[in-house]
Chain A
Amino acid sequence: MSVNYSEKIPNNVNLSEDKTLQRALEHWQPEFYEWWSAMGPEGSHNFDVYLRTAVSVDRDGWAQFGYVKMPDYRWGIFLNPADAGRKIHFGEHKGQPAWQEVPGEHRANLRRIIVAQGDTEPASVEQQRHLGLTAPSLYDLRNLFQVNVEEGRHLWAAVYLLQRYFGRDGREEAEALLQRRSGDADNPRILGAFNERTPDWLSFFMFTYFTDRDGKFQLCALAESGFDPLARTTQFMLTEEAHHMFVGESGVSRVIQRTSQLMKEHGVEDPARVRALGAIDLPTIQRYLNFHYSVTIDLFGSDQSSNAASFYSSGLKGRYEETKLGDDHVLKNDTYKVLELAGDRLLEKEVPALLSLNERLRDDYIKDSIGGVERWNKVIEKAGVAFRLRVPHKAFNRKIGTFAGVRVSPDGRVLPEAQWQANVREWLPSEQDRAFVASLMGRVAEPGKFAGWIAPPATGINRQPVDFQYVRFN
């Protein structure tokens, strides 16, 4: 397949001059299209979707809006502009010029980091591929597709790094990214949360709020990397990631708004009566929140990790907002507080800061997540309903790290198994909850119309009206 590099693959990596990379891409690109056609959004290939495409990284180029058929989306390769004098600003190489090529001794670790991040991108497309059939509006359908094509572009970003900087192993890893499948028993995606199903739109919104935010924090940490091409790639990905979190935050917010409004209008509080009105009751929303939050914070890994320490010390992956932090950026003599199980209590303990970098990133993430939950609470409060959403304790429902398998209630009490079992129905979504939410799902395809369980958004996309024809089915 011949490729017109400047048109078909918008890029700022001088692709038309790089023959080696061209050859690698010529091989990979048809496989990507095959993957998209098999695992991309179901039944959508002929739709005209009002999408944002990045054609360059400058102000005018990075957000171009127009109708596009998704298979024709121009997946591009973009790095933020280079800063010639950029230095590594943490770890043992602090003060040295940032690397423009992969240092031999860090090759395996860097590849591993890029593959782990890259694997989440196609995984989420796979997880979300059936959602289009039950979109609550054209506006939401368009947002789903925007998220999907940009996850596709993030896959391209990872593949570019692998193919450009890692030779043969990189090319093999690039192909493996298209071969693993979310939820597949034999060849699953690398990380747990990316093998969970995204069966309904509440899950989708929770996923984009919580799990894409994990993406934000991982990308922010990689944007500090001493390997300059990785830093610049992830910096640009962050601008797109923002839209995904917007879809999540505003999506959940609109569900809450609709529920609160119906509760007030009909003067009902009992969850069963709220459900009878065709809305998702707030306790169910809380249970979804508990699930997605706890599954997502597992993604940050073990609370004490020598891998994380070595990634940091060798300058591969920094902390969140590393450059803004005021310490020595080496952390050899610093400590950090982590939680530990002591009998039936959770106690804080000081451990070497270098070993607890995962925990630190998790804590930064938690702080950021809570902000949005508080904004959701404002919506409930504004409607005059007495209910508050909370993120559960960070030891709740964990599968990775010190708390894996420990039974902890959402308010942070260590529980015996029996007590957990007696209450888990109140804390995590049950099969009945999921069945109820699923029963509300159904495609709403008329411009400006919204399913009964969700409020319309405050504004449209790119200053278009809310009732704009965001998707044409053809």
Chain B
Amino acid sequence: MAAAASAGYAVQHLIDPEICIRCNTCEATCPVKAITHDSRNYVVDFNTCNFCNACIAPCPTGAIDNWRQVAKTTPFSLDEQFSWDSLPPQSDLEVGSDAEVPAEVRQLTEIATAGQGGAVAPPWSAAHPYVNLYSVDRPAIATVTGNFRLTGDGASADVRHIVLDFGSSAFPVLEGQSVGVLPPGLDPNGKPHHVRLYSVASPRDGERPRYNNIALTIKRVTQDHQGSPASGAGSNYMCDLKIGDAVQVVGPYGTSYLMPNHPGSSIMMICTGTGSAPMRAMTERRRRRAALKEGGELMLFFGARRKEELPYFGPLMKLPREFIDINLAFSRETDQPKTYVQDLIRARGKDVARLLRDESCYIYLCGLKGMETGVLEAFRDVCRDHGLDWDRLKPELHAKSRLHIETY
């Protein structure tokens, strides 16, 4: 919730009287007795609700999952809520619903998360994300304030770090969320370009702390999945952006691939290439809060062809070992055997097993579809070698929202 609240404003939890069936489950579930009812409506007491979200999953209708931004001094009173036939309209800066997510974004998300067996809930301590603040019909306009090449001169891949500033438009994001970009003009069929989705590479308080900007990690696409030459309209548009250019941005999207926030929570990150974007965001979030000494470990497995092609190699190497346990796998480095992330996971089996066992460790995979099977197989091997049963553990990880996969 904290992410949504700003000075003078707060998020208020409300129940939609049009959808609620008055089954009393939420009232029976609420550990702090924030929910009550009269003969008409079930309502939430603003002053009592502590956003523990215990009521969300048991609600059979989804009526419970409603939030409004209100002035802290004048939230909706119980009497007001009792009198409602429907919820008050959303203000401009509101949590959207999945129903409003463009079909193509939904489709991309479904493909990306197929490996984990469909959508999972976010970690219990994830912050509540804003989604869908800007639609294709009403995109936000961002200004390019940075565009740097991340990969070395000798590298074949052109991976770029692009910074977008939203000026006075609100565009709150959480680490792990994505945004959509609408390239201008028309595609070869004369239709407007479809939305390109990019994972945010910066933490929630901005690429530059307390600035209204975000960073994206984008690789210039020069060939298709089969290796034939192809020029990606979206990535080339993005990679060619100049400082000061205006970009149409939609979203944000994503309610599941979010980081845990509770003290002592650990994060295992496994990525290749631009799959590093959400990992950078989470790492940076933790780095900025390191002084708070909240505990928990970071363990990173990061794969690329060669050192020069590994985005953020330089800054990554400057992070202290005690802050993050970095494992880099290069598959095309001259004079070295081909190494993949799954090889390193096996090599670090003991620590990996320890984190797999650790209920407060959350695991994130992001990168090419091809890595998924290898990584999951490596987990299976590690489990076997360390007295765990992967077939039992995987559904448990899934059930506890501890395994998050986004591959493309």
* Interfacial residues, chain A to chain B (CB-CB below 8 A): 7, 50, 55, 59-67, 216, 235, 238-239, 241-243, 245-246, 249-250, 368, 371-372, 375, 378, 458-460, 462-466
Contact = CB atoms under 8 A, between A and B. Distances in A.
Interface string B1-34: 0000000000000000011011111001100000
Nearest to A7: B392
B117 A246 contact: no
Given A60-B400, A63-B58, A66-B118, 13 more contacts: A59-B54, A63-B57, A239-B25, A242-B58, A246-B21, A375-B18, A458-B19, A459-B62, A459-B98, A459-B99, A463-B65, A465-B101, A466-B99
B199 interface: no
B196 interface: no
Given A67-B117, A459-B99, A55 B399 contact: yes
Contact of A378 (B85, B97, B399): B85
Interface string B228-272: 000000000000000000000000000100000000000000000
Nearest to B55: A59
B119 interface: yes
Contact of A62 (B23, B24, B58): B58
B98 A460 contact: yes
A250 B106 CA distance: 25
B61 interface: yes
A465 B21 contact: no
Sorted nearest first, the 8 A-B pairs with minimum C-beta distance are A242-B23, A246-B60, A243-B60, A63-B57, A242-B25, A242-B60, A64-B399, A59-B54
A61 B401 CA distance: 11
B62 A372 contact: no
Interface in B66-122: 85, 97-99, 101, 106, 117-119
B149 interface: no
Nearest to A4: B392
A55 B57 CA distance: 13
A363 to B, nearest CB: 14
Nearest to B395: A66
B124 interface: yes
B19 A245 contact: no
A67 B120 CA distance: 12
Contacts of A7: 392
Contacts of A372: 21-22
A249 B395 CA distance: 32
Contacts of A242: 21, 23-25, 58, 60
B57 A59 contact: yes
Contacts, number: 86
Nearest to A462: B119
Given A62-B57, A64-B399, A246 B23 contact: yes
A248 B206 CA distance: 46
A337 to B, nearest CB: 20
B25 A465 contact: no
A370 to B, nearest CB: 10
B98 A463 contact: yes
Contacts of A65: 118
B22 to A, nearest CB: 6
A245 B23 contact: yes
A464 B255 CA distance: 11
Interface in B286-311: none
B113 to A, nearest CB: 11
B259 to A, nearest CB: 17
Contacts of A249: 21
A66 to B, nearest CB: 6
Contacts of A55: 399
B220 interface: no
Interface residues on B, range: 35 or more
22 contacts: A59-B53, A61-B399, A64-B399, A66-B117, A66-B118, A66-B395, A66-B398, A216-B23, A239-B28, A239-B29, A241-B23, A250-B21, A250-B61, A371-B22, A372-B21, A378-B18, A458-B19, A459-B99, A463-B98, A463-B119, A463-B255, A466-B99
A247 to B, nearest CB: 8
Given A243-B60, A463-B119, A238 B25 contact: yes
Contacts of A62: 57-58
Q: Residue among B53, B54, B61, B395 with the most chain A CB within 10 A? A: B61
Nearest to B53: A59
A375 B62 CA distance: 17
A282 to B, nearest CB: 20
A243 B61 CA distance: 8
A392 to B, nearest CB: 21
B21 A245 contact: yes
Nearest to A6: B392
Given A7-B392, A60-B400, A246 B61 contact: yes
B71 to A, nearest CB: 28
Contacts of A375: 18
Nearest to B400: A60
B50 to A, nearest CB: 13
A236 to B, nearest CB: 10
Contacts of B28: 235, 238-239
Q: Residue among B65, B392, B395 with the most chain A CB within 10 A? A: B395
Nearest to A464: B119
A68 to B, nearest CB: 10
A160 B25 CA distance: 23
B62 A463 contact: yes
Contacts of A462: 119
B117 A465 contact: no
A65 B398 CA distance: 9
A383 to B, nearest CB: 14
A67 B395 CA distance: 11
A235 B24 CA distance: 12
A466 B101 CA distance: 12
A242 B20 CA distance: 11
A61 B54 CA distance: 11
A459 B99 CA distance: 7
Given A66-B398, A67-B117, A459-B99, A239 B21 contact: no
Contacts of B398: 66
Nearest to B40: A371
Nearest to B26: A242
Nearest to A248: B21
A239 B25 CA distance: 6
Interface in B25-51: 25, 28-29, 39
Given A372-B21, A459-B99, A60 B60 contact: no
A368 B37 CA distance: 13
B21 A459 contact: no
Contacts of B21: 242, 245-246, 249-250, 372
B129 to A, nearest CB: 12
B85 A239 contact: no
A216 B79 CA distance: 28
A395 to B, nearest CB: 24
Q: Residue among B19, B23, B29, B119 with the most chain A CB within 10 A? A: B23
Contacts of B19: 250, 458-459
B110 to A, nearest CB: 8
Nearest to B116: A66
A465 B57 contact: no
Given A55-B399, A62-B57, A66-B398, A465 B98 contact: yes
A59 B23 CA distance: 18
Contacts of B119: 462-464
